[in-house]
Chains A and B, each alone.
Chain A
Amino acid sequence: KQEVTQIPAALSVPEGENLVLNCSFTDSAIYNLQWFRQDPGKGLTSLLLIQSSQREQTSGRLNASLDKSSGRSTLYIAASQPGDSATYLCAVAPRGSTLGRLYFGRGTQLTVWP
Protein backbone atom coordinates (compact mmCIF):
# COMPACT_ATOMS: atom_id res chain seq x y z
CA LYS A 1 0.00 0.00 0.00
CA GLN A 2 1.25 3.43 -0.92
CA GLU A 3 2.15 5.60 2.06
CA VAL A 4 2.72 9.31 1.79
CA THR A 5 4.60 11.27 4.44
CA GLN A 6 4.97 15.01 4.73
CA ILE A 7 7.65 16.70 6.77
CA PRO A 8 7.47 18.93 8.70
CA ALA A 9 3.95 18.70 10.07
CA ALA A 10 4.02 22.39 10.91
CA LEU A 11 6.24 25.29 9.95
CA SER A 12 6.27 28.89 11.12
CA VAL A 13 8.44 31.42 9.30
CA PRO A 14 8.77 35.21 8.97
CA GLU A 15 7.62 36.87 5.80
CA GLY A 16 10.13 36.88 2.96
CA GLU A 17 11.78 33.54 3.67
CA ASN A 18 12.25 30.92 1.00
CA LEU A 19 11.02 27.58 2.24
CA VAL A 20 10.82 23.93 1.27
CA LEU A 21 8.07 21.47 2.05
CA ASN A 22 8.84 17.78 1.75
CA CYS A 23 6.76 14.85 0.58
CA SER A 24 7.89 11.23 0.39
CA PHE A 25 6.09 8.17 -0.91
CA THR A 26 6.88 4.48 -0.59
CA ASP A 27 6.07 3.15 -4.07
CA SER A 28 7.71 4.88 -7.01
CA ALA A 29 5.21 3.44 -9.52
CA ILE A 30 2.97 6.48 -9.86
CA TYR A 31 1.09 8.28 -12.62
CA ASN A 32 1.50 11.70 -11.09
CA LEU A 33 1.96 13.72 -7.92
CA GLN A 34 -0.16 16.72 -7.05
CA TRP A 35 0.30 19.51 -4.52
CA PHE A 36 -2.75 21.12 -2.95
CA ARG A 37 -3.39 24.05 -0.68
CA GLN A 38 -6.14 23.94 1.95
CA ASP A 39 -7.25 27.02 3.87
CA PRO A 40 -9.06 26.51 7.20
CA GLY A 41 -12.62 25.33 6.65
CA LYS A 42 -12.16 25.30 2.89
CA GLY A 43 -11.65 22.79 0.12
CA LEU A 44 -8.47 21.72 -1.60
CA THR A 45 -7.03 23.97 -4.28
CA SER A 46 -4.72 22.36 -6.81
CA LEU A 47 -1.35 24.10 -6.98
CA LEU A 48 0.83 21.93 -9.19
CA LEU A 49 0.55 18.60 -10.97
CA ILE A 50 3.71 16.71 -11.93
CA GLN A 51 3.36 13.78 -14.31
CA SER A 52 5.61 10.79 -13.70
CA SER A 53 7.70 11.65 -16.75
CA GLN A 54 8.40 15.18 -15.50
CA ARG A 55 11.01 16.41 -13.03
CA GLU A 56 9.47 19.71 -12.00
CA GLN A 57 6.66 22.19 -12.45
CA THR A 58 6.56 25.90 -11.74
CA SER A 59 3.76 28.34 -11.09
CA GLY A 60 4.64 31.84 -9.98
CA ARG A 61 6.56 31.65 -6.71
CA LEU A 62 5.97 27.91 -6.44
CA ASN A 63 8.23 25.20 -7.78
CA ALA A 64 7.63 21.51 -7.27
CA SER A 65 10.15 18.80 -8.07
CA LEU A 66 9.73 15.07 -8.38
CA ASP A 67 12.34 12.34 -7.93
CA LYS A 68 10.51 9.08 -8.51
CA SER A 69 13.50 6.85 -7.92
CA SER A 70 13.91 8.13 -4.39
CA GLY A 71 10.18 8.59 -3.77
CA ARG A 72 10.45 12.29 -2.99
CA SER A 73 8.90 15.57 -3.98
CA THR A 74 9.59 19.04 -2.70
CA LEU A 75 7.50 22.19 -2.90
CA TYR A 76 9.61 25.32 -2.91
CA ILE A 77 7.93 28.59 -2.01
CA ALA A 78 9.94 31.70 -2.80
CA ALA A 79 9.65 34.96 -0.88
CA SER A 80 6.88 33.72 1.39
CA GLN A 81 3.95 36.01 2.28
CA PRO A 82 1.35 35.94 5.06
CA GLY A 83 -1.21 34.98 2.41
CA ASP A 84 0.70 31.73 1.89
CA SER A 85 -0.42 30.57 5.34
CA ALA A 86 -2.40 27.37 4.84
CA THR A 87 -2.04 23.60 4.98
CA TYR A 88 -0.19 22.10 2.03
CA LEU A 89 -1.03 18.54 0.99
CA CYS A 90 0.66 16.27 -1.48
CA ALA A 91 -1.05 13.33 -3.14
CA VAL A 92 0.12 10.57 -5.45
CA ALA A 93 -1.83 8.58 -8.03
CA PRO A 94 -0.23 5.11 -7.92
CA ARG A 95 -0.09 2.71 -10.83
CA GLY A 96 -1.74 -0.64 -10.35
CA SER A 97 -4.15 0.69 -7.75
CA THR A 98 -7.80 1.64 -7.75
CA LEU A 99 -8.29 3.79 -10.82
CA GLY A 100 -7.81 7.42 -9.92
CA ARG A 101 -7.20 6.69 -6.28
CA LEU A 102 -5.15 9.42 -4.65
CA TYR A 103 -3.06 8.75 -1.58
CA PHE A 104 -2.62 11.84 0.56
CA GLY A 105 -0.07 12.90 3.09
CA ARG A 106 -1.34 14.51 6.29
CA GLY A 107 -0.09 17.91 5.25
CA THR A 108 2.26 20.63 6.38
CA GLN A 109 0.60 23.50 8.22
CA LEU A 110 2.42 26.67 7.21
CA THR A 111 2.24 29.97 9.06
CA VAL A 112 3.96 33.02 7.60
CA TRP A 113 4.02 35.95 9.99
CA PRO A 114 4.58 39.60 9.06
Chain B
Amino acid sequence: NAGVTQTPKFQVLKTGQSMTLQCAQDMNHEYMSWYRQDPGMGLRLIHYSVGAGITDQGEVPNGYNVSRSTTEDFPLRLLSAAPSQTSVYFCASSYSGRAGEAFFGQGTRLTVV
Protein backbone atom coordinates (compact mmCIF):
# COMPACT_ATOMS: atom_id res chain seq x y z
CA ASN B 1 0.00 0.00 0.00
CA ALA B 2 1.85 3.09 -1.27
CA GLY B 3 -0.41 5.70 0.39
CA VAL B 4 0.31 9.21 -0.91
CA THR B 5 3.17 9.48 -3.41
CA GLN B 6 4.76 12.77 -4.43
CA THR B 7 7.24 13.37 -7.21
CA PRO B 8 9.81 14.76 -7.52
CA LYS B 9 11.38 14.84 -4.05
CA PHE B 10 13.68 17.74 -4.92
CA GLN B 11 13.57 20.38 -7.65
CA VAL B 12 15.48 23.52 -8.51
CA LEU B 13 13.82 26.00 -10.86
CA LYS B 14 14.84 29.27 -12.36
CA THR B 15 12.59 32.27 -11.89
CA GLY B 16 9.88 32.26 -14.54
CA GLN B 17 9.98 28.54 -15.25
CA SER B 18 6.89 26.40 -14.87
CA MET B 19 6.56 22.91 -13.51
CA THR B 20 4.09 20.39 -12.15
CA LEU B 21 4.35 18.67 -8.79
CA GLN B 22 2.74 15.27 -8.94
CA CYS B 23 0.61 13.67 -6.24
CA ALA B 24 -1.08 10.28 -6.37
CA GLN B 25 -2.95 8.28 -3.75
CA ASP B 26 -4.11 4.68 -3.91
CA MET B 27 -6.61 4.73 -1.02
CA ASN B 28 -9.63 5.88 -3.06
CA HIS B 29 -9.82 9.05 -0.97
CA GLU B 30 -12.26 11.75 -2.00
CA TYR B 31 -10.46 14.65 -0.45
CA MET B 32 -6.99 15.81 -1.53
CA SER B 33 -5.10 18.96 -0.74
CA TRP B 34 -1.80 20.76 -1.16
CA TYR B 35 0.07 22.54 1.62
CA ARG B 36 3.30 24.44 1.72
CA GLN B 37 5.55 24.45 4.76
CA ASP B 38 7.80 27.40 5.47
CA PRO B 39 10.01 28.07 8.50
CA GLY B 40 8.11 30.04 11.14
CA MET B 41 4.87 29.87 9.13
CA GLY B 42 3.67 26.34 9.69
CA LEU B 43 1.67 24.54 7.01
CA ARG B 44 -0.62 26.60 4.83
CA LEU B 45 -3.32 25.32 2.50
CA ILE B 46 -2.82 26.13 -1.21
CA HIS B 47 -5.64 24.28 -3.02
CA TYR B 48 -7.91 21.38 -2.29
CA SER B 49 -10.32 19.04 -4.04
CA VAL B 50 -13.36 17.19 -2.73
CA GLY B 51 -13.58 14.83 -5.71
CA ALA B 52 -12.78 14.41 -9.38
CA GLY B 53 -13.60 17.57 -11.26
CA ILE B 54 -14.03 19.72 -8.13
CA THR B 55 -11.29 22.01 -6.84
CA ASP B 56 -11.14 25.18 -4.80
CA GLN B 57 -8.67 27.66 -3.39
CA GLY B 58 -7.12 27.54 0.02
CA GLU B 59 -5.27 30.16 2.00
CA VAL B 60 -2.37 30.89 -0.40
CA PRO B 61 -3.48 29.99 -3.95
CA ASN B 62 -1.78 32.73 -5.98
CA GLY B 63 0.73 31.43 -8.51
CA TYR B 64 -0.59 27.87 -8.42
CA ASN B 65 -3.12 25.90 -10.46
CA VAL B 66 -4.68 22.53 -9.83
CA SER B 67 -7.00 20.12 -11.58
CA ARG B 68 -8.48 16.78 -10.59
CA SER B 69 -9.37 14.57 -13.53
CA THR B 70 -9.21 11.29 -11.57
CA THR B 71 -9.75 10.26 -7.96
CA GLU B 72 -6.12 9.18 -7.67
CA ASP B 73 -4.20 12.19 -8.98
CA PHE B 74 -4.02 15.82 -7.90
CA PRO B 75 -1.15 17.69 -9.60
CA LEU B 76 -0.05 21.17 -8.55
CA ARG B 77 1.19 23.49 -11.28
CA LEU B 78 3.47 26.44 -10.78
CA LEU B 79 2.76 28.81 -13.62
CA SER B 80 5.79 31.10 -13.44
CA ALA B 81 8.06 30.25 -10.53
CA ALA B 82 9.15 33.00 -8.15
CA PRO B 83 11.71 32.90 -5.30
CA SER B 84 8.80 33.33 -2.86
CA GLN B 85 7.62 29.88 -3.90
CA THR B 86 10.74 28.27 -2.47
CA SER B 87 9.23 25.91 0.07
CA VAL B 88 8.45 22.32 0.93
CA TYR B 89 5.19 21.16 -0.61
CA PHE B 90 3.04 18.44 0.86
CA CYS B 91 0.10 16.64 -0.66
CA ALA B 92 -2.50 15.10 1.65
CA SER B 93 -5.58 12.95 1.24
CA SER B 94 -8.43 11.72 3.42
CA TYR B 95 -11.55 9.62 2.95
CA SER B 96 -13.82 12.32 4.27
CA GLY B 97 -12.65 15.92 4.45
CA ARG B 98 -14.63 16.58 7.60
CA ALA B 99 -13.78 13.71 9.86
CA GLY B 100 -11.32 11.48 8.11
CA GLU B 101 -7.73 10.85 9.05
CA ALA B 102 -5.36 12.78 6.81
CA PHE B 103 -2.38 11.08 5.19
CA PHE B 104 0.56 13.03 3.83
CA GLY B 105 3.13 12.43 1.15
CA GLN B 106 6.87 12.71 1.75
CA GLY B 107 7.05 16.21 0.33
CA THR B 108 8.71 18.03 -2.55
CA ARG B 109 11.50 20.43 -1.64
CA LEU B 110 11.44 23.22 -4.23
CA THR B 111 14.06 25.91 -4.63
CA VAL B 112 13.50 28.80 -7.03
CA VAL B 113 16.64 30.75 -7.93
Residues of chain A at the chain B interface (Cβ within 8 Å) = 31-32, 34, 36, 41-46, 49, 51, 89, 91, 93, 95, 98-102, 104-107
| Residues of chain B within 8 A of A89, CB atoms compared | 43
CA distance A45 to B88 in the complex (A): 16
Given contacts A44-B90, A102-B45, A104-B42, are A32 and B58 in contact (CB under 8 A)? no
Chain B interface mostly: strand
- Residues in A whose Cβ lies below 8 Å from that of B105: 43
- Asked if B33 CB lies within 8 Å of chain A CBs, one says yes
Indicate which residue in B42, B92, B94, B101 contacts A106 across the interface (CB closer than 8 Å). Answer: B42
- Give 14 pairs: A residue, B residue, CB < 8 Å, sorted on A: A34-B102, A44-B90, A44-B92, A45-B104, A49-B101, A93-B97, A98-B48, A99-B50, A99-B97, A100-B31, A100-B102, A102-B33, A102-B102, A104-B43
Residues of B within 8 A of A32 (CB): 99
Smallest CB–CB gap between A3 and chain B, Å?
10
Docked CA distance A91–B102 (Å): 10
Asked if B64 is at the interface (CB within 8 A of a chain A CB), the reply is no
| B-chain residues with CB within 8 Å of residue A101 when the two chains form the complex | 33, 45, 48, 58, 97
Decide if B104 touches A100 in the complex (CB within 8 Å): no
- Tell me the complex Cα distance, A93–B102, Å: 10
- Say yes or no: B31 contacts A46, CB within 8 Å: no
Residues of A within 8 A of B109 (CB): 41
- A100 / chain B contacts, CB cutoff of 8 Å: 31, 33, 48, 50, 94, 96-98, 102
- Central interface residue in A34, A44, A45, A95, by most chain B CB within 10 Å: A44
Whether the pair A93, B99 counts as a contact (CB closer than 8 A) is: yes
Determine whether the beta carbon of A46 is less than 8 Å from that of B101.
yes
